[in-house]
Amino acid sequence: MKKRIAIFASGSGSNAQKLMEHFKRSTDTEISLVLTNNADAYVLQRADNFEIPSHVFDKHEFYKTDEVIDLLKNLDIDLIVLAGFLWLIPKNLIAAYTGRIVNIHPSILPKFGGKGMYGDNVHNAVIAAGETEGGITIHYVNENYDEGEYIYQARYKIDKADNLEMIKFKGQQLEHLHYPRIVESIVKKIKK
């Protein structure tokens, strides 16, 4: 019986794409659903390209009902993977999937984490702080932004000449290299 992953994303979904590509070849794990809070998110097109069902939800459905949890349970989802999902995960969803929600953050946490720290906001803060290295953190999700237990961190060197685009590129290379592999190692440990 295959393990089933649901991806939550809010935007383009480049990490979601890498996960879809990675697990398309898997015999024991599949991406079963892509969920988003943004009806215009490009991740929906990516999901469609891989013939993966998707679901768009609003704030009321996500925070005031159990509809998203019911959908995940009905599809027998084993692991939730956040890939550029910007909303805080509600307590009822964390309780339903304790230890089975993972996220990737574009810095070496605990530096440059917390509310509002995503995408270019993180990279600009790294530049403003004069950091000599950047990186990524893959972590479990709890009820606070970027405070869950760390699973994996990887670093890259920041050169003096690096601009925002170079730093984003270096970070994204690490994300695409490591996230599918780490997610696979986590899902393998889940008992069906």
* Each residue's pLDDT tens digit, 2-45: 999 999 999 999 999 999 999 999 999 999 999 999 999 999 99
Which tokens hold the place of 105? Answer: 């953050």
Q: What is the CATH number of domain 3-105+137-155+175-189?
A: 3.40.50.170
Residues 22, 69, 64, 90, Cα dihedral to 10°:
-60
So what's the pLDDT on residue 65?
A: 97
CA–CA gap between residue 165 and residue 168 (Å, rounded): 5
Average pLDDT over residues 57-63: 98
Average pLDDT of the chain to the nearest whole number: 97
Q: Give yes or no for residue 158 having a pLDDT over 80.
A: yes
So what's the pLDDT on residue 192?
A: 77
CB 146 within 8 A of CB 101: no
Nearest to 101 by CA among 18, 7, 3, 1: 7
User: Which listed residue (22, 55, 60, 105) is catalytic?
Assistant: 105
Report the predicted TM-score, pTM, of the whole model to 2 decimal places: 0.97
Asked if 55 is an active-site residue, the reply is no
**In the chain, domain spans:** 3-105+137-155+175-189
From residue 90, how far is each of 29, 69, 98, 135, 184 by CA, in Å?
26, 10, 12, 27, 25
How far apart, in Å, do the first and last CA atoms of the chain sit?
A: 8
Average pLDDT over residues 85-92: 96
Dihedral sign for Cα 15, 8, 42, 23, please.
Answer: positive
